[in-house]
A = this chain, B = another copy of it.
Amino acid sequence: MEFTLIDRIRERTAQGRDDVRLGIGDDAALLAVPAGQELAVAIDTLVEGVHFPIGTAAVDIGWKSLAVNLSDLAAMGATPAWALLALTLPSADAALIDGLANGFAQLAQAYRLALVGGDTTRGAFTISVAVHGFVPPGKALRRSGAQVGDAVLVTGTLGDAAAGLQLVQKGANADARSAFLIERLNRPTPRVAAGLALREHASACIDISDGLLADLGHLCTASNVGAEIETSLLPRSSALLDLFDENVARDFALSGGDDYELCFTVPAQHVATVQADLARLGCGATKIGRIVEGGGVGVRDADGRWLEPARNGWDHFGA
């Protein structure tokens, strides 16, 4: 089955990349990785009703399907190059397909990314995207390099996407602050330029898709270290703080998924340099804690008390 989606995106994305030796239209694409570069590859799937609410605009779904994958490349410090797209749809809905193509192409254009292959099939609404990027050998950011004493930082603000999801579910989207938070859910900004800049000094990096604590936990496990973070340091948007109670906003920032910010570690002496480097790219970077011996992620509140996970968020230890 041919939805024309692939052709529509192809028309709107990079045509002039000389590393694409043969694009869409044969049994496979033929691609040339530049000399002296390794290939970073990742694949992620979005399922309707799981990864985006039913009713999400098609243009946002198209954007997000690529954004979550570019976020993986950002977390490796890789430069995006090519993508493959597998779309399954119940029917050939022209407006939906056009919206998906527009959203995907908007983000692809920002990186001169070429769509080099695709498949369209009939079934429940699912989008899988595979991305390919370049990184010099030995220069990729990994989850496994954090050292005891390193600072833990995050880009941007945390918890916005979880707040946006709650607003969508409540049908509350009339005001500008709600719209901002919902935009953060629907059109995440992959931190590609920040990831490239972090190759210089970061010791480890991961993108925040499942929530800060879960993803920082993955980084700690891979690095065989622990981390301590302080809730008073968590960067949060004014929209989040205006619309939600402090405890809710804190829990969104700690555990909410879908922010697609980067969480990374930096030797203490390089923190200011890294913050300045990212600021020049328009990307805030906030120190939220430090790497310690042991394992797991400890969370302290503004009074220095330890928090622990509870049924509806995070509570004071023993409370």
List chain A positions with a Cβ less than 8 A from chain B. 21-22, 25-33, 38-51, 71-73, 75-76, 78, 82, 84-86, 88, 116-119, 121-124, 126, 128, 130-133, 135, 137, 140, 142-144, 205-207, 222
Cα A131 to Cα B27 with chains together (Å)? 11
Instruction: Specify how many copies of this chain sit in the oligomer.
Output: 2
What is the distance, in angstroms, from A251's C-beta to the closest C-beta of chain B?
Answer: 21
> Known contacts A84-B43, A140-B22; is A123 also within 8 Å of B30 by CB?
no
Residues of B within 8 A of A45 (CB): 86, 88, 119, 121, 128
- Select one of B29, B32, B47, B73 contacting A28, CB under 8 A: B73
Determine whether the beta carbon of A32 is less than 8 Å from that of B39.
Answer: yes
Residues of B within 8 A of A85 (CB): 43
What is the distance, in angstroms, from A172's C-beta to the closest C-beta of chain B?
Answer: 27
Residues of B within 8 A of A118 (CB): 43
Residues of B within 8 A of A49 (CB): 123
- Select one of B30, B33, B126 contacting A140, CB under 8 A: B30
Determine whether the beta carbon of B133 is less than 8 Å from that of A43.
Answer: no
Determine whether the beta carbon of A121 is less than 8 Å from that of B222.
Answer: no
Cα A121 to Cα B26 with chains together (Å)? 29
Determine whether the beta carbon of A72 is less than 8 Å from that of B28.
Answer: yes
Determine which residue in A28, A39, A40, A123 has the highest number of CB atoms from chain B within 10 A of its CB, and name it: A28
Cα A234 to Cα B135 with chains together (Å)? 49
